[in-house]
Structure 1
Amino acid sequence: MEKNLKIGIVGAGIQGISNALFLQKKGFSVTIFDRDEPGSPVASYGNAGHFSPYASVPINRPDVLTDVPAMLLSTTGPLALKWNYVPKMIPWFLQFIRNCTTKRMLHTAKNMHQILDLALPAYDELFDEIELGGLVEKKGILYIWNDQSLKSRELEIKVRNELGVDQQIVTPKEIHDLEPNIRPIYHGGVYYQYGRHARNPKKILLKLYDLFLKKGGKFLKMNIKDINFNDEKPVIKAETQSFLFDKIVIACGSFSKKLTDNLDEKIPLDTERGYHVHFKDCDHLLSRPVIFQNRGFGITPMEQGLRVVGTVEFGGLDNPLSKSRVKNLINNAKYMMGDLPEHEDEWLGFRPTLPDYLPVIGPSKKYKNVFYCFGHHHLGWTLGPISGKIISGMIAEENTNLDLKPYSSLRFS
């Protein structure tokens, strides 16, 4: 493989920048395109900030189907629909339901575990080259729950045990010792002591972006409309200009579908809309991220305050922010923490999600010089560097001992 290949990447979030840095390590020259500046308020900016290598048990599982109707009816629940979007989502939901068997769940869990296991070492390769300055804390991540839907919790614990995930079951007293400021709403939990969290995901992303520029990378702020081909070489088309590359990577999260549809590949990518709010100057109340599983939300102590994140809303890319979802987060935060000041920063972002809850990492179906890296749902932040490392190895035509077939887009054709 010749070294001086020119690679174009569409997307400047954690996926795009991670791909770029690992491609630079292999000696390629890289240009990133995005319609926004890196660190703008999209998913890599607004996520929960978890580095969660244990999170292999997917949402597609048998017990979820019985839980969904109750979740949708509950005002405190993690799930919501924008009814105007439901007709568009029906094909996705049907595929999702097909993926909720025990066999498919275990397939997803095994193949998520394979890359999650490598996620933190891949981050450390990038972190070795920047000054992190306290932006990553290694204090573990705590999940708590009450006695409702315990079967679901037991299932998660069992599957993770079988995969060899290191997890510590904790009692109410141990939870209180770890996080004394949480109201006693819990009966049990799990503590993942090797979990980490970001004190400010945007600042980390920008440090990685600066490293990319320092290593000779180029960034062009442009809205990419289409991919064409000149012979077999891909051409990235913006509104008024076109750019020829040897190979390209599509890594623009939920917006990737517009490009893959144009490449005549029908990948059932949709979006889970996620929200956050901040409670400023309250980050001293928690030492680590805490997730309350019954209500499907979490709180992470960050520089901006306590960041309350959660809810899954199916509503596409065009619907406005739902005030009821924001209110839901505020109420949940107060349920967990008691009295809190006025909230700030209402944010909505899009998690790119495929119905089998595995990402797409690998070459396109029809074009050998086009690679995909999207669909990481709730784990985009955790899986950025390992996904970029995998793609860089594919582009450099290196051998790997990983089984990469499960992440191929061919599974949908």
Structure 2
Amino acid sequence: MKITIVGAGLVGLASAHALAAEGHRVTVIDREGPAAGASQGNAGWLAHTDIDPIASPKMLRRVPKFLLDPLGPLAIRPSYLIPILPWLARLVWASRPENLARSVEALVSLQKLAMPAWTRLSGGLGLGKLIHRRGGLFVFDDEAAFRRAKGHFAKQRALGIACDLLDAAELRQLEPALSDQIVAAAFFPDAAHVSDPRQVTQALFDAAMARDIHFEKADIRAVEPGPPVRLVMRSGDTLTADRVVIAAGAWSRPLAASLGDVVPLDTERGYNVSFPGVTGLLSRPVSFDGQGFVATPLDSGLRVGGAVELGGLALPPNHARTRALYAKATRYIRDMPPFESGSTWMGFRPSIPDSLPVIGPARAAPDVIYAFGHGHYGLTQSAVTGALVADLIAGRSPPIDLARFSPQRF
């Protein structure tokens, strides 16, 4: 079939490869180009060991404290408070125990498939060297918080996720650059990270071009049901396809709305600072409990980033948040380079209140498949999402129940 994918990020390109492997004629369309959004600036962590939705009672308990600090792990831009209220209401609803349990079950089912899918995709394209399998660390600066977290680590072990608990001395054997403020850690030996998110996305794009997947730069403003499906550009021109995949990340909501699907997609704005050439401080990604940031040793340099800012797509960045992340990092990582030597970035995580992506057909157009809303797990879940998109288009039963990911679940 002739299949058009809207979005040249990680999810779109993974879907393009999965569909081209089945003999379809694939075109990828993007308003900018490959790796233009969150696919270039994320933390680079293949975090398939994570099983916690953002929506949870634990997170809700922390919200008042976070909101008292405008530069803390969670902030809402004042001018965006009214627009984000419906999304926040759904977040609270998703945090109810019965809803959270269903979200965890669905997230675990997807995460279990994430690394095998990445292994197949990267191996088939000769990109295995871009994935580093050195594990990942969750570190604590408070013994009481570490003790409270042990029950959660036990839950992860019960799901088959390898997890080793480390004291301060054991931790510093792995990462000597971590300061004495870090008192304990959980080490996940099966976690991984990539060489650099932009490099990986560009490599997927280059491999797509090499296998005769086509690319067109265009701004799609609406999708109309078929057959054939029509894509309407902002210029007024149209394209047609037998099938369409919407994988436009944070910009997917109006395209879904053009087909009658009201999806509560918003953006968690993430910030980072990257230090080119700084490659010796850490050996693996480190997440700092309760601080809202991670540090990742990319091949291109050290990246420090994270936090959540609810502010939509239009407001300018507030890089005072980036400086605040950096200030925290200097407390926990020795010999950090000066802030001015780094490059700052802000990007848009496409986020759904229940922390589950939208994967499934449009209500009014079964020939259109949605694949967006992965939040903090876009890199992690991109390869498996591409495989699931191929299953749906082929009419095969997917290996997991996609009901919890349905665009109609709202």
TM-score band, normalised by shorter chain: over 0.9
Q: 1:103: Cα distance to partner?
A: 2.3
- Give the conservation status (yes or no) of the 8 Å contact 1:270–1:353: yes
- Give the conservation status (yes or no) of the 8 Å contact 2:270–2:306: yes
What is residue 89 of structure 1 aligned with on the other side?
A: 84
- Give the conservation status (yes or no) of the 8 Å contact 1:182–1:336: yes
Pairing 1:161-180 to 2, within 5 Å after superposition: 161-180=157-176
Q: 1:151: Cα distance to partner?
A: 7.2
Q: TM-score, normalised by structure 1?
A: 0.94
**Number of equivalences:** 406
What is residue 98 of structure 1 aligned with on the other side?
A: 93
Of 129, 134, 149, the residue aligned with 2:124 is 129
Residues of 1 paired with 2:121 and 2:209: CA distance?
14
- Deviating above 4 A after TM superposition, structure 1's stretches of 4 or more consecutive aligned residues are 148-152
Change (3 A) 1:382 1:401: closer
Of 281, 304, 311, the residue aligned with 2:307 is 311
- Matched residue type, 2:244: I
Residues of 2 paired with 1:133 and 1:23: CA distance?
20
Q: 1:150: Cα distance to partner?
A: 4.7
- Matched residue type, 2:104: A
Residues of 1 paired with 2:203 and 2:68: CA distance?
42
Pairing 1:237-386 to 2, within 5 Å after superposition: 237-238=232-233, 239-343=235-339, 344-386=342-384
Change (3 A) 1:245 1:347: same
Residues of 2 paired with 1:166 and 1:331: CA distance?
32
Q: 1:158: Cα distance to partner?
A: 4.1
Change (3 A) 1:182 1:151: closer
- Give the conservation status (yes or no) of the 8 Å contact 2:132–2:194: yes
> Structure 1, residues 358-399: CA drift from partner, whole Å, max 9, x if none?
111111122111110011110000000100100101100112
Answer yes or no: is 1:58 the counterpart of 2:53.
yes
- Give the conservation status (yes or no) of the 8 Å contact 2:305–2:322: no
SS at match of 1:309: strand
Change (3 A) 1:198 1:20: same
Residues of 2 paired with 1:385 and 1:279: CA distance?
28
Q: 1:152: Cα distance to partner?
A: 6.1
- Matched residue type, 2:318: S
- Matched residue type, 2:260: D
Residues of 1 paired with 2:257 and 2:221: CA distance?
12
Q: 1:30: Cα distance to partner?
A: 0.6
> Structure 1, residues 142-165: CA drift from partner, whole Å, max 9, x if none?
110122645762453244234332
Change (3 A) 1:155 1:63: farther
Change (3 A) 1:165 1:360: same
Of 185, 195, 200, the residue aligned with 1:199 is 195
- Matched residue type, 2:52: V
> Structure 1, residues 266-321: CA drift from partner, whole Å, max 9, x if none?
11111100011012332201001111112010100113321001110000001111
Residues of 1 paired with 2:189 and 2:315: CA distance?
38
> Could you list the runs of 5+ residues in structure 2 that have no partner in the other structure?
none
Change (3 A) 1:134 1:128: closer
What is residue 73 of structure 1 aligned with on the other side?
A: 68
Answer yes or no: is 1:223 the counterpart of 2:224.
no
Q: TM-score, normalised by structure 2?
A: 0.95
Of 381, 402, 405, the residue aligned with 2:403 is 405
Change (3 A) 1:331 1:97: same
Change (3 A) 1:339 1:180: closer
Pairing 1:29-44 to 2, within 5 Å after superposition: 29-40=25-36, 42-44=37-39
Q: 1:331: Cα distance to partner?
A: 0.5
What is residue 390 of structure 2 aligned with on the other side?
A: 392
Residues of 1 paired with 2:46 and 2:97: CA distance?
26
> Could you list the runs of 5+ residues in structure 1 that have no partner in the other structure?
none
Q: 1:76: Cα distance to partner?
A: 6.0
- Give the conservation status (yes or no) of the 8 Å contact 2:259–2:363: no
- Using the aligned pairs only, state the percent identity: 33
- Give the conservation status (yes or no) of the 8 Å contact 2:55–2:354: yes
Residues of 1 paired with 2:147 and 2:313: CA distance?
34
- Matched residue type, 2:354: D
Change (3 A) 1:213 1:57: same
Of 89, 97, 118, the residue aligned with 2:113 is 118
Residues of 2 paired with 1:47 and 1:196: CA distance?
14
- Matched residue type, 1:36: E
Residues of 2 paired with 1:204 and 1:156: CA distance?
32
